[in-house]
Amino acid sequence: MQYIPTHISGLFVVEPRVFQDERGYFFESYSKVKEQEAGKAYNWVQDNESFSERGVLRGLHYQCGEHAQAKLVRVIKGEVQDIVVDLRKDSKTYGDHFAIELSETNKKQLLIPRGFAHGFLVISETAIFSYKCDNYYHKESEGGIAYNCSTLDLPWKVMETYTVSEKDQLLPFFGSHKTL
């Protein structure tokens, strides 16, 4: 399992080692020991999973203050475009984004530290998306940024239609968002 740094401090692409033969494949999707060997120390407390259809866009979401969450995200079935935005005011990359395609084929994961807004767009017919969190959801601490924020100019793939929840359609633009 490799932890590959991105241009944003603390944000890593995780690539597992996949073993394939005539029976199929096997890989470790998570290893506490390998996480620690890579210098990461997360205490994951909850696993979440969502099912979505093509064009569903979820996000960009985050948790504030003591309820902030780090996440380890991956796709079990299908393919998504995953985008994160650095909301850490003291970061050199504050306001920068990172985009990656995660799929059942490439088996890549994204290790997102606390202080990031996160969202994804389903680009396959359906997708099962899974993620670990190092803190529990707390409704009063939730925040978000509009997926179509012109200030950020996020590189979402062009789709025939986007299916965005009413709640996500009302999220503020970057700069007007709830601070961490």
Tokens 């803190």 found at: 135
Catalytic residue among 61, 97, 118, 177: 61
Structure tokens at 141: 């601490």
Catalytic residue among 62, 118, 131, 147: 131
131 included as an active-site residue:
yes
7 included as an active-site residue:
no
Residues contacting residue 39 through CB under 8 Å, at least 6 positions apart: 3
Structure tokens at 150: 């012109």
Catalytic residues: 61, 131
